[in-house]
Structure 1
Amino acid sequence: MRMNIGDKAPEILGKDEQGRDIRLSDYRGRKLVLYFYPKDNTSGCTAEACSLRDHYNELQGAGYEVVGVSKDSAASHVKFKEKHELPFPLIADVDKELLQAMGAWGEKVMYGKKTEGTIRTTFIINEEGVIEQIFAGKQVKTKEHAEQILSR
């Protein structure tokens, strides 16, 4: 399954690194940057998270909230957030439910080898919970991802 522009995002997003339920309705009236990344503390994922962190105030000023998602554990997310001072929640989708529901899990090629894993994907969800834009795979510029979102 893959979510597309115009689709309503799922209500239940998952649990963050503190075990709190994160729901789409928590962000009603705000735009949501829901970004899926492969792994905590890897170079590309750290660059992407830090881009969003460094421009967090600008994103909020433009009406956005940010939520990250990976299949890493809550404990891994806690360390990642603390190390990089990330001001937004990270969903620990260890069962890959949201990853699969959104279409951010699937076959990809890494170093010439086919594997199954997280496909780096960002969904821009509007104030009513509808997907407005999708950045996927190589479209995501990890070091400038916040600027990509702000300039859309």
Structure 2
Amino acid sequence: MQVLTSLPVDLPRPVADGACDHLPGMRLPEVALNSTQGGLVALASLPERLLVYCYPMTGQPGVPLPDGWDQIPGARGCTPQSCALRDHHAELQALHIQVFGLSTQTTAYQAEAATRLHLPFALLSDADLAFSQALRLPMLEVKGMQLIRRLTLIVDEGVISKVFYPVFPPDQHAQVVLDWLNTAP
């Protein structure tokens, strides 16, 4: 049985391939995304500083991950990353950061994870890939699923000001982002 909250010690490191180099300075698309907290969220319209962490997919207890998942660089770690952001959420709020998770999974699928992990922030569904395609986010295909590669966007008034990509290790990324936020303008 796989433990979703911890990472294997031999997890492969993703490579910095330049797939997000075009993102800083881009305006977010006017796409409304379904939220696990109900309703639609248009990230481009939010005036706050945002932390939008994009992840491939969360696993579910008792449901096997796709074959070879742990060998795909950057695939494994969505649950530990979400838990770390949950654990640092108060610090992020103190910096006036609004946090969102984003994946191509359906809202119903994401809602299970949000509830199970006690996430204090919304997970947003880009199941139709409108947001991902508009920004040309790096994707991977696994068992017919189109998944976003793990990355984090810092957004100010609808414009991407910072991109963290690749993200590794995912369980320590919340602290990396906090360190950057505490020294950034």
Question: What range describes the TM-score normalised by the shorter chain of this pair?
Answer: 0.7 to 0.9
Residues 12-21 or 69-78, more deviating: 12-21
Task: Tell me how far 1:118 sits from its aligned partner.
Answer: 1.7
Query: How does 1:2-151 map onto structure 2 within 5 Å?
Result: 4-24=23-43, 27-28=46-47, 30-41=48-59, 43-107=76-140, 117-126=147-156, 128-137=157-166, 139-151=167-179
Task: Tell me how far 1:68 sits from its aligned partner.
Answer: 0.7
Q: In the TM superposition, what whole-angstrom CA distance separates every residue of 1:118-148 from its partner, at most 9, and x where no partner exists?
A: 211111001x2211110122x3431112111
Structure 1: segments with no counterpart, 5+ residues: none
Residues 60-69 or 92-101, more deviating: 92-101
Q: Normalising to structure 2: TM-score of the pair?
A: 0.69
Runs (4+) off by over 6 Å: none
Structure 1 Cα separation of the partners of residues 134 and 45 of structure 2: 19
Q: Is the CA contact 1:19–1:74 (under 8 Å) kept in the aligned structure 2?
A: no
Q: In the TM superposition, what whole-angstrom CA distance separates every residue of 1:51-74 from its partner, at most 9, and x where no partner exists?
A: 110000000101111111111111
Q: In the TM superposition, what whole-angstrom CA distance separates every residue of 1:27-59 from its partner, at most 9, and x where no partner exists?
A: 31x210111100122750001101110000000
Give the structure with the larger helix fraction.
Answer: 1
SS at match of 1:151: helix
Q: Normalising to structure 1: TM-score of the pair?
A: 0.82
Structure 1 Cα separation of the partners of residues 53 and 32 of structure 2: 12
> Structure 2: which amino acid aligns with 1:143?
D
Larger radius of gyration: 2
Q: How many residues align?
A: 144
Calculate percent identity across the aligned residue pairs. 31
Task: Tell me how far 1:26 sits from its aligned partner.
Answer: 5.3
Change (3 A) 1:56 1:18: closer
Q: Is the CA contact 1:105–1:116 (under 8 Å) kept in the aligned structure 2?
A: no
Change (3 A) 1:13 1:147: farther
Structure 2: segments with no counterpart, 5+ residues: 1-18, 60-64, 66-75, 181-185
